[in-house]
């Protein structure tokens, strides 16, 4: 039994050993098979090192200052003389237009006819004098300052007369109150007093007539002075133009003489380099040349001829005005003289009435105080009557003056509108037939908006010309942190340089990014053989800095939550170490072509996943490339 027991124990022992061996073999192969089914990853240690940051971006080449070719009126395009991409010089024909009146020309002509009709109606409706119309159309209207001065003068005169009348009436009321206390005199002097009052009224009328005649004489003399002034002004203009013509002729003669002198030196081969420069300037077309002096001389002579024609026209047109003004002065002088004589006669009658009243009052008992008060009252009553008459006349004259000024202002405004509209019509007519649209600047045609047969719209660009001398720009958006790493004047590298030749891009400045207020746009000046609309990828920035955490660019990942890296975390198990991919959110501080500096929940020397044989997610088990 002992032998059987021993054999049995040996058998159990052998079975256990075999079982454990099989279990060990199966565990080994199971771990190996599982490892080979996991994604294989390559890693690199997070380390501290220096980064030379490069800011990259892609933008579209744009012209720095494109020029829009526009028309101010609608016209039909007959043909297009250029195509997009053509290089043109200033003055080259871009479009040919059909010979037809534009809608703007027809409307402008209709508006001009309406303005002229309204002007003629205004002249007739206002019953304007021929002299007023002549002054308006010849530009001899008085200035606003002169008008205001005359209006102020009338208002001051009316205010003064009103104050005088109020003062007189106040004193008359005081006299009436005192007379009522003194009682009535025993002698009736009412007839003599009435005679005094009548004589005073006649004298007031005579004085008003003298004032009116004097004003009429002054106005006639002013008209005569104005008529003579027009001729004098025209003569002054002729004298001024004659002086300018003499000066221009003297300059031209002096320059020709100097040129001949220098030409002789040139023929004798004694001319200096400075004199050669002077001779070239004299024979050129710019400022200081004989050609420019000749043109100035011709212009001065034309101005002189025009001034002489104007003088002759003014003399002819003013002759009748001067004659009429002289006749008006003579008539006004006669009327004034007659008014002065009549005023003297009225003063004599008034003096006689005063004497009769005084004699009658002298026959009364002691009534010196009443007589004094009545005499003063009579004088004041006469003064009230005279002042009232003058005030009424001044108010009437002021109203007539204002009405005349209003007519004059209205006519001047309407005439100015007519002349401005005539200029608009003239400009539209000049460009209405046989017209072409020429290039206003030299450059490349970057855009053509119309084809033959289409009608242009006013102030809408027909074409766009890129002025190549003003260069091109490229811009793209960067973060504020990236913008601080770039300076104006930095030269960028062109990443897609195969598409360009002899092109340079330089940082010109920064501006706000309208699509992302948190960012800024970096603007590059681009020179070389480029065209508007081309796409250009640039990198810029050469500043080196040391960072604590630097990883390969291939380790940077991004999803909807932002940028992150996957690091390896090791966990022990009975079958060995297991490696788990763990997510760490980071912010990229700077990058070069291969490495990026980051910040986040890192301590340094972590193993970061750079590549993998299959997609890897956070929390997933992986195997290392050397396992």
The pLDDT value given to residue 562: 92
Arithmetic mean of pLDDT, 368-384: 84
Over pLDDT 70: what percentage of the chain?
Answer: 86
Arithmetic mean of pLDDT, 519-533: 78
CA distance 418 to 405: 20
8 Å CB contact between 61 and 74: no
Asked if residue 160 has pLDDT above 50, the reply is yes
Containing 374, the helix (H) or strand (E) segment is helix 368-430
3-class DSSP assignment, residue 350: helix
Arithmetic mean of pLDDT, 288-307: 87
CA distance 234 to 241: 11
pLDDT band at 3 (very low <50, low <70, confident <90, very high): low
Highest mean pLDDT out of 100-104, 275-279, 429-433: 275-279
CA distance 355 to 199: 12
The pLDDT value given to residue 627: 47
Strands (E), 39-179: 40-45, 47-52, 55-60, 62-63, 67-69, 77-80, 87-88, 93-97
Distances 387 to 197, 339, 598 between C-alpha atoms, Å: 15, 18, 100
**Lowest-pLDDT range, 160-169, 288-297, 498-507?**
498-507
**Lowest-pLDDT range, 128-142, 326-340, 394-408, 467-481?**
128-142
pLDDT band at 585 (very low <50, low <70, confident <90, very high): very high
Radius of gyration for the alpha carbons in the chain, expressed in angstroms and rounded: 54
The pLDDT value given to residue 85: 73
Containing 569, the helix (H) or strand (E) segment is strand 562-573
pLDDT band at 563 (very low <50, low <70, confident <90, very high): very high
Lookup result for tokens 């025993």? 186
Distances 198 to 241, 378, 393 between C-alpha atoms, Å: 64, 11, 20
Highest mean pLDDT out of 439-443, 501-505, 617-621: 617-621
CA distance 401 to 557: 89
Sheet strand arrangement including 491-494: 55-60, 535-540, 491-494, 504-512, 519-527, 472-479, 62-63
Residue 185 has which token pair? 């005199």
Among 2.40.50.100, 2.40.50.140, 1.10.10.10, 1.25.40.10, name the CATH number for the domain at 54-102+432-542.
2.40.50.100
8 Å CB contact between 74 and 108: no
**Lowest-pLDDT range, 5-9, 487-491, 615-619?**
5-9
8 Å CB contact between 227 and 325: yes
CA atoms within 13 A on the CB side of 153: 9
CA distance 553 to 218: 100
Asked if residue 282 has pLDDT above 80, the reply is yes
**Lowest-pLDDT range, 522-536, 553-567, 590-604?**
522-536
CA neighbor of 568 nearest in space, from 49, 35, 42, 37:
42
Give 490's DSSP letter.
P
pLDDT band at 64 (very low <50, low <70, confident <90, very high): low
8 Å CB contact between 207 and 347: no
CA neighbor of 591 nearest in space, from 478, 480, 482, 475:
482
pLDDT band at 388 (very low <50, low <70, confident <90, very high): very high
Mean pLDDT for the chain? 80
Asked if residue 20 has pLDDT above 80, the reply is no
The domain made up of 40-52+544-624 has a fold known as 2.40.420
Of 139 and 344, the structure prediction assigns the larger pLDDT to 344
Arithmetic mean of pLDDT, 412-420: 82
CA distance 432 to 108: 13
Arithmetic mean of pLDDT, 227-250: 85
**Lowest-pLDDT range, 88-97, 145-154, 186-195, 382-391?**
186-195
Of 205 and 51, the structure prediction assigns the larger pLDDT to 205
8 Å CB contact between 42 and 424: no
The pLDDT value given to residue 283: 84
Find all residues with CB under 8 Å of 448, minimum gap 6, and list them: 80, 82, 83, 84, 462, 463
pLDDT band at 166 (very low <50, low <70, confident <90, very high): very high
Distances 533 to 85, 113, 183, 470 between C-alpha atoms, Å: 11, 49, 112, 16
Residue 226 has which token pair? 């104005």
8 Å CB contact between 608 and 553: no
8 Å CB contact between 589 and 545: no
Arithmetic mean of pLDDT, 66-91: 77
CA distance 314 to 320: 11
pLDDT band at 148 (very low <50, low <70, confident <90, very high): confident
Q: How many CB atoms lie within 10 A of CB 307?
A: 21
pTM higher than the cut 0.85 = no
8 Å CB contact between 161 and 385: no
The pLDDT value given to residue 165: 92
CA distance 454 to 510: 41
């Amino acid at each position: 039994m002992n032998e059987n027991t021993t054999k049995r124990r040996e058998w159990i022992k052998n079975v256990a050993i075999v079982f454990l061996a099989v279990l060990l073999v199966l565990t080994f192969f199971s771990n190996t098979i599982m490892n080979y089914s996991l994604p294989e990853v390559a890693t690199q240690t997070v380390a501290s090192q220096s980064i030379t940051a490069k800011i990259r971006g892609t933008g579209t080449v744009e012209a720095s200052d494109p020029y829009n070719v526009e028309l101010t009126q609608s016209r039909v395009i007959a043909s297009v003389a250029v195509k997009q991409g053509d290089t043109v010089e200033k003055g080259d024909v871009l479009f040919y237009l059909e010979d037809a009146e534009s809608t703007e020309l027809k409307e402008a002509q209709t508006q001009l006819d309406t303005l002229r009709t309204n002007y003629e109606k205004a002249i007739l409706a206002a019953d304007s004098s021929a002299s007023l119309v002549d002054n308006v159309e010849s530009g001899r209207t008085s200035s606003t300052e002169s008008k205001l001065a005359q209006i102020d003068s009338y208002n001051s005169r009316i205010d003064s007369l009103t104050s005088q009348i109020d003062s007189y009436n106040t004193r008359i009321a005081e006299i009436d109150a005192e007379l009522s206390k003194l009682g009535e005199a025993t002698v009736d002097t009412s007839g003599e007093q009435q005679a005094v009052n009548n004589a005073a009224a006649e004298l007031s009328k005579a004085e008003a007539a003298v004032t009116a005649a004097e004003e009429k004489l002054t106005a006639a003399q002013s008209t005569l002075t104005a008529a003579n002034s027009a001729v004098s002004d025209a003569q002054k203009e002729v004298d001024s133009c004659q002086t300018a013509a003499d000066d221009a002729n003297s300059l031209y003669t002096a320059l020709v003489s100097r040129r001949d002198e220098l030409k002789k030196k040139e023929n004798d081969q004694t001319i200096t380099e400075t004199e050669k420069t002077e001779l070239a300037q004299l024979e050129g077309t710019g400022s200081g040349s004989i050609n420019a002096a000749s043109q100035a001389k011709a212009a001065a002579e034309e101005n002189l001829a025009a001034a002489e024609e104007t003088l002759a026209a003014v003399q002819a047109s003013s002759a009748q005005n001067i004659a009429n003004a002289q006749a008006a002065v003579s008539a006004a002088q006669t009327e004034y003289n007659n008014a002065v004589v009549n005023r003297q006669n009225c003063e004599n009658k008034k003096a006689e009435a005063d004497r009769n009243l005084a004699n009658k009052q002298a026959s009364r008992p002691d009534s010196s105080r009443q007589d004094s008060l009545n005499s003063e009252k009579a004088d004041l009553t006469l003064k009230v009557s005279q002042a009232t008459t003058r005030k009424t006349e001044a108010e009437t004259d002021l109203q007539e003056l204002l009405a005349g000024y209003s007519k004059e202002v209205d006519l001047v405004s309407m005439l100015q509108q007519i002349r401005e509209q005539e200029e608009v019509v003239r400009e539209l007519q000049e460009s209405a037939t046989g017209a072409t649209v020429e290039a206003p600047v030299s450059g490349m045609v970057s855009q053509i908006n119309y084809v033959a047969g289409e009608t242009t719209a006013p102030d809408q660009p027909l074409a766009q010309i890129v002025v190549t001398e003003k260069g091109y720009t490229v811009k793209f958006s960067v973060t504020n942190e990236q913008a601080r790493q770039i300076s104006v004047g930095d030269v960028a590298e062109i990443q897609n340089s195969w598409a360009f030749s002899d092109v340079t891009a330089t940082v010109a400045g920064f501006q706000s990014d309208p699509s992302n207020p948190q960012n800024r746009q970096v603007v590059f000046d681009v020179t070389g053989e480029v065209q508007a609309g081309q796409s250009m990828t640039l990198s810029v920035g050469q500043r080196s800095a040391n960072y604590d955490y630097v990883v390969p660019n291939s380790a940077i990942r991004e999803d909807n939550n932002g940028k992150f890296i996957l690091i390896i975390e090791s966990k022990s198990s009975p079958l060995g170490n297991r490696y788990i991919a763990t997510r760490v959110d980071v912010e990229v501080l700077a990058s070069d072509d291969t490495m990026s500096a980051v910040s986040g929940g890192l301590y340094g020397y972590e193993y970061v996943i750079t590549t993998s044989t299959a997609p890897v997610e956070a929390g997933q088990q992986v195997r290392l490339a050397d396992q």
